[in-house]
Amino acid sequence: MEQVSETDTSWKNNGLRWGIILGLIKMILMLVIYIIDFSLLLDWKLKWLMNIVEAIAWIFIGKSFYSSHQNVAFAQVLLHGLILFVMTDLVVLGYNLCLYNIIDVYLPEKLADESVQRTEEVMQNFMSKDRLDAELASVREKITNGYGVIPQLIGFAYGLIGSGMLALISTLFIHKRQK
């Protein structure tokens, strides 16, 4: 039987622990944003900023962890990052499912209203009033339906692709510095 070294399990445990911690931090930040102004949840710049901060945090976590371990394989660093990002995304998914389906069941409608209003401001100069109304009704329906359980799970699956890319990019930084 093959023995598992302490290093082989410690990077997995480190990824799980820090993934949950980052997920809880992200969840708390989203809760604060929701309390301050729910419409900020639609701000794409804020979402990108949170993802960049998450990637930077992973680089520091990875660097600090792997500075104490010598000759770590690229694949091990990558898997550590994937575990961390997937755990973070799972915590946030659980929070989002609770927020949209239990805590504030009217939030998807509020977000749809806000999004339609923003879309209308942008598009009113480019379309006729009748066509704009039809488009906005379609946008409202898609947005409202996008906060259900199945669309959230599909979004999580797509998010895994983004997490994989973030893990790969940040692994390149960590592994490069390690050599």
Distance CA 169, CA 81 (A): 10
Given a cut of 90, is residue 20 above it in pLDDT? yes
Vertex 90 angle, CA 115 and 29, to 5°? 55
Percent of the chain with pLDDT over 90: 38
In a domain, 173, yes or no: yes
Weakest-pLDDT range from 3-7, 59-63, 150-154 = 3-7
Cβ–Cβ under 8 Å, residues 171 and 79:
no
In a domain, 23, yes or no: yes
Cβ–Cβ under 8 Å, residues 101 and 149:
yes
Distances (CA, A) of 16 to 5, 117, 169: 17, 40, 19
Q: Domain of residue 114: give its range.
A: 6-178
Distance CA 174, CA 179 (A): 9
Given a cut of 50, is residue 128 above it in pLDDT? yes
Distance CA 71, CA 178 (A): 8
In a domain, 114, yes or no: yes
Average pLDDT over residues 22-27: 93
Cβ–Cβ under 8 Å, residues 135 and 123:
yes
Given a cut of 80, is residue 68 above it in pLDDT? no
In a domain, 62, yes or no: yes
DSSP single-letter state for residue 70 = S
Percent of the chain with pLDDT over 70: 92
In a domain, 106, yes or no: yes
Average pLDDT over residues 78-86: 89
Total domains present in the chain: 1
In a domain, 1, yes or no: no
pLDDT (0 to 100) of residue 131: 86
Average pLDDT, the chain: 86
CA proximity to 166, closest of 66, 86, 96, 94? 86
pLDDT (0 to 100) of residue 19: 92
User: What SS3 string covers 92-154?
Assistant: HHHHHHHHHHHHCCCHHHHHHHHHHHHHHHHHCCCCCHHHHHHHHHHHHHHHHHCCCHHHHHH
3-state SS of the chain: helix, strand, coil percent to 5?
Answer: 85, 0, 15
In a domain, 11, yes or no: yes
Amino acid in the structure at residue 149: V
The band of 54, judged by pLDDT with boundaries at 50, 70 and 90, is confident
Centroid of chain to Cα 159: 7
The band of 1, judged by pLDDT with boundaries at 50, 70 and 90, is very low
In a domain, 157, yes or no: yes
